[in-house]
Structure 1
Amino acid sequence: MSARPQQTVTAEQIDARLPQTQCTQCGYPRCRAYAEAVARGDADINQCPPGDDITIQALASLLHVPPKPLDVHFGRHAPRIRAVIEESICIGCRKCIDVCPVDAILGARKLMHTVIAAECTGCALCLPPCPVDCIALVPAAVATNAGPWPEYTHAESTHWRARTESRLQRLARRERTGREKPLVNIPSPAGPASSFPDDRERIRAEIRAAVDRVRQKRHGHD
């Protein structure tokens, strides 16, 4: 744990020195949350594998503390990657779309999804929820460096921060709208009105059926 930084150092200043991959490896749900924890003195400066030594040095200089090696408990620095969806296997379940922190995946339910290569941060958060393992991580082309990190440009980190904030604002609006909606009832011939049934079980059933179809198709090619 780092010493509590000086009060003049803000979370915004710390966040500006993070690559904004939003990978959660630092132990926090997004880069800004990690920056806030460092500003409070609740997190150390060496918890960002994508930023590695460059971020550590930048934070150490900002906070006037000695630099230290990356804490491998949070992962190791690795070459930049991006996600690719094998579209012939994708079942359109939207699970990857729901977890992408920068809205880098396009698609709709029951329709094929695709990753916008230029928007993908390589966070890998889309892999665990995919029920058919149709997402792979591949080496990403590294643009000519125009920032502190050799693999992430300043323009990219700024762009990813803005996309993350935009997504969070959209989700917050959706949550508020959902809470404000009145309970909708439908008349039942058997008696009093009843609530619309929750469609989560139907969606789960559709996903299970789609997964079974993919498995059968794979076995047919074996």
Structure 2
Amino acid sequence: MRSTLAEQIDALLPQTQCRKCGFTGCKPYAEAIAQGSADVNRCPPGGAAGIEKLAALLGVTAKPLDPACGSEQPRLVAVINEADCIGCTKCLPPCPTDAILGSSKHMHTVIAAECTGCELCVAPCPVNCISMRPAADPDWTMENAERGRRRFLAKTRRLALQEADKTERLNRQKQMLAKVKNTKTQL
């Protein structure tokens, strides 16, 4: 099975889903590169090595990382100061890989092996109990990227199923209300 250019580009990205490139995730960025509407130098997690791989794939000259997107740094993971966590759950929705565990009014924690280091959980925290620290394995690997991709896709599927279920429940409720209304008007 042949893959599209966008899929080939996406396969080279670190799958952090960090949005630092200006797109909503790695796949939209890959699609923009494939369409020629984005440059190969917008991924800080991929850094210089990632830019080189993308440039080689596309047969273009590599450029330095666009400073507007951030700076290259070792792989990071989120760490929650559990003593300060108030269990507000505001960090859960932005996590692209469901790497944060916790529930309302209970302490949260990060599964370090599943964290892509995207930093999307930091800003929503009202008590600033989330910090970013160097990962135990500071270099991005294809295994890191593939694990991040699988978890991101699993979360995306889960959310789509939840939304479909919610829509179905609302439609059933509307139908029931319409029946009740019709019954009352007939009386």
The normalised TM-score by structure 1 is 0.73
1:106 equivalent among 101, 109, 116: 101
Higher mean Cα deviation, 11-20 or 172-181? 172-181
SS at the partner of 1:45? coil
Deviation at 1:161, TM superposition (A): 0.5
Higher mean Cα deviation, 129-138 or 8-17? 8-17
SS at the partner of 2:12? coil
2:22 maps to amino acid:
G
CA contact (8 A) 1:82 1:117 kept: yes
Q: Which residue number in structure 2 is paired with residue 42 of structure 1?
A: 37
Count the aligned residue pairs: 172
Q: Which residue number in structure 1 is paired with residue 158 of structure 2?
A: 170
Deviations 1:61-90 (A, max 9, x none): 111111111111111101222111111111
List structure 1 segments (4+ residues) > 3 angstroms apart after TM superposition: none
Listed as ranges, the matches of 1:155-166 within 5 Å are 155-166=143-154
Percent identity over the alignment?
A: 53
Deviation at 1:100, TM superposition (A): 0.3
Q: Which residue number in structure 2 is paired with residue 132 of structure 1?
A: 127
Aligned CA RMSD, in angstroms, stands at 1.8
Q: Which runs of 5+ in 2 are unaligned?
A: 175-187
1:152 equivalent among 140, 154, 157: 140
Tell me which protein shows more helix as a share of its residues.
Answer: 2
2:70 equivalent among 56, 59, 75: 75
Does residue 30 (structure 1) correspond to residue 25 (structure 2)? The answer is yes
Higher relative contact order (CA 8 A, sep 6+): 2
The normalised TM-score by structure 2 is 0.86
CA contact (8 A) 1:47 1:74 kept: yes
1:165 maps to amino acid:
L
Separation in 1, partners of 2:170, 2:159: 19
